[in-house]
Amino acid sequence: MDRREVAHLLRTIGALLEVKGEDPFKVRSYGRAADSIESSDYDLEKLAGEGRLTDIPGVGKNLEPKVREMILTGSSSYLERLVAEIPEGVLDLLKVPGIGPKTARLLYTALGIASLDDLDAALKAHKIQGLPGMGRKREEIMAEGLAEIRRYAGRISIGVALPVAESIVASLRQKSIAAALVGEVRRAEETVSALDLLVLKNPDESPSSILERSGLVPGASSSALEQSWDDAHGRYVFGTGLGVPLRLHFAGMNAFWPRALWLTGPSEFLDYFSKKARERGLVLTEAGLVREGETLEAARTGFFGDVGTAEARFPKNAEIEDIMDARFEDLLFGMVSLSPIPPEVRHRKEFWEASAAGKVPPLVDPNDLRGDIHLHTLWSDGVAGIEAMVQAAIGMGYSYIAITDHATDMKMIRGITHERLDEYLREIRQVQEKYPGFRVYSGVEVDILRDGRLYLPDEDLARLDVVIASIHHEIDSKGDGVRRLIKAAMNPHVDVLGHPAGRLIGRRAGIVSGLEEVLEAAATTGTAIEINSSPDRLDLPENLVALGYSKGVRFAVCSDAHSPGGLGTIRYGLLTCARRAGIPPEYVVNTKPALPWVTG
């Protein structure tokens, strides 16, 4: 059992203990151990074998045997005992706003509610008001929250889906099986309903024998998955622990990229592509690109050796790496007189037109990023010091970062105050001196208060290189977020508006109207708009990024990392919000060699 799975079991135990009403500190210790195991690179099986699991911070004498059992057997008898008391479905209730551990337990013990469906039924029958402490208003809040969760039912964030899909591709590759991402994950949709992989198949091999070789067959590994063959689509469908299926599609060498194009879609783009193909006497089918009048059977032999050009033909002894090169897909575009369109913008009609005209504009690319300007450290709610974040940034190949700890009146976070500012700036300067070739900007993420003023006075903000202004409380419509954001944008010290919509995917809708006005204001004041890449935010969403771009707004793509490992999440915002919106690199401030508004 791998790190992620162990961490997941530990978190499940922690949540169940919390619902049981156990000591909060005990509950938290399970979460801490999970974080520690997940973010480490320990060889768990080795440590378990040597009895050294307590070397892991957060794992003590009580957790050691529990973790060892998970690693060695893939399950936990302790967890099984807990689930006998409280079904795991009760934990789904915790995702609903207004339901915490106490309420979840009450709902389960009083009404037997053990799933979101149960909750839905109880809300509709108004069974909840009348329980101790529950009234009409509580029911309303729960119903609203449940509706938001239901909007994302059966979907997971790209931030969860992409790394899992990539790790499956990597593990298949280790078994000499070549596969590529297709479908929603390849298009980098903000949430996806399935993980689709296209697997390369030799003519003499069957999908089932590949599957056997893959190690994904139940029983072949501890992470056994339910699987079934879907004959209509020629694919295997697996259940995963993520709430979305994994689907393995198969194609031979010559049909690989036509099939990848088909499976990547989206369907309205395939319609357009087909139309262009017909103009050239070609037909796009699920199995390949074929000459008009040709049968599907013929198509199954693949098109590259048939209607393909000489350079589109694979060499006789092509290596997997050669075949996996997406430039072969580009050749398909060429065959129908289109310029290649990156998967993330194939849904955008303006790119179809640009493609037909042979002028697809460049999109901002991960390699364009020169720095990350929204990061937290131990100075507020981050888990690492400034220097550790600098080293992580250097590891990402950046030339600069901005340290932007919270300046907030949220009491739980001890952030940057007027009194602590001197000391904070001093430490940033000290780290800067140790890394002369790398720029460490000083900054804060300052709270926009209820009246639109900022938590720190202007004279403090004036001392910082980067000021991100964000709303952290009363984000919904009654908090009048639009007016507060515009007021913050008008402040000349504010460089960036942080996570403007304030949404949390699947939990909180955030500001749902009026953000056009904020974009107008930002375009006028020159304030950059953040694209926050945290997988549960992905804020600003694509459609509003595209709108801002049309108004001339500049963007800052940021990780909002709270740990060194967190810097890597920046790609989710980049792919899902920036690239899908069709943003070129020059509209992203942190593609510049230095921040334009900082002098000296």
Contact residues: DNA, CB under 7 A: 23, 25-26, 28-30, 32-33, 54, 57-64, 97-104, 129, 132-139, 141, 410-412, 472-473, 508
CA–CA dist 597, 494 (Å, integer): 11
Residue 135 beta carbon to DNA: minimum distance, rounded to whole angstroms: 2
Nearest CA to 492 out of 470, 517, 467, 471 is that of 467
Those residues with Cβ within 8 angstroms of residue 338's Cβ, 6 or more apart along the chain or in another chain: 273, 276, 355, 356
Nearer to DNA by Cβ, of 290 and 446: the residue is 446
Nearest-approach distance from CB 86 to DNA, in angstroms: 14
**Residue in the block written with tokens 């990392």:** 561
For 244, the 3-state DSSP assignment is coil
CB of 128 to DNA, least distance (A): 9
Our CB check for DNA shows the closer of 217 and 410 to be 410
Cβ closest to DNA, residue 142 vs residue 188: 142
Q: Please state the closest distance from residue 57 (CB atom) to DNA, in A.
A: 5
Q: How far is the CB of 111 from DNA (least distance, A)?
A: 14
What is the end-to-end Cα distance of the chain in Å, rounded? 51
DSSP assigned state of 580: T
User: Which is nearer to DNA, 23 or 117 (by Cβ)?
Assistant: 23
Strands 496-497 and 466-470 turn out to be parallel
CA distance 429 to 115: 52
Q: Smallest distance, Å, CB 125 to DNA?
A: 16
- Minimum separation from the CB atom of position 17 to DNA (A): 7
The residues, any chain, with a CB within 8 Å of residue 306's CB and separated by 6 or more, are: 290, 291, 298
Give CA–CA dist 460/38, Å, rounded. 38
Q: What is the DSSP annotation of 473-489?
A: S--SGGG-HHHHHHHHH
Query: Of 141 and 357, which CB lies nearer to DNA in the complex structure?
Result: 141
Q: Whole-number minimum distance, CB 512 to DNA, in Å? A: 16
Confirm if 166 and 217 have CB atoms less than 8 A apart: no
The tokens of 477 are what?
A: 């419509």
Burial of 498 (0-12, 13-18, 19+ CB in 10 A): buried
Shorter beta-carbon distance to DNA: residue 101 or 582 = 101
DSSP-assigned states of every residue in 3-72: HHHHHHHHHHHHHHHHHHT--HHHHHHHHHHHHHHHTS---HHHHHHTT-GGGSTT--TTHHHHHHHHHH
Kind of pairing between the strands at 191-192 and 179-182:
unpaired
Nearer to DNA by Cβ, of 103 and 442: the residue is 103
**Beta carbon nearer to DNA, 120 or 306:** 120
- Could you give the CA distance from residue 509 to residue 501 in angstroms, rounded to a whole number? 8
Complex with DNA: residue 37 or 179, whichever CB lies closer: 37
Burial class (CB in 10 A: 0-12, 13-18, 19+), 333: middle
Paired tokens of 440? 């460490």
Of 558, 569, 564, 532, which Cα lies nearest the Cα of 377?
Answer: 564
User: Would you say 144 or 205 has its CB closer to DNA?
Assistant: 144
Q: Which is nearer to DNA, 79 or 261 (CB)?
A: 79
Determine contact, residues 329/549, Cβ cutoff 8 Å.
no
Least distance in Å: CB of 56 to DNA?
7
Q: How far is the CB of 263 from DNA (least distance, A)?
A: 38
Q: How far is the CB of 451 from DNA (least distance, A)?
A: 12
Q: Is the dihedral of CA 328, 333, 339, 344 positive or negative?
A: negative
Shortest distance in whole angstroms from residue 218 CB to DNA? 31
According to DSSP, the β-strands at 288-291 and 282-285 are: antiparallel
Rounded distance, CA 403 to CA 413, Å? 16
Q: Which is nearer to DNA, 10 or 178 (CB)?
A: 10
- C-beta of 561: minimal distance to DNA in Å? 18
Nearer to DNA, 36 or 399 (CB): 36
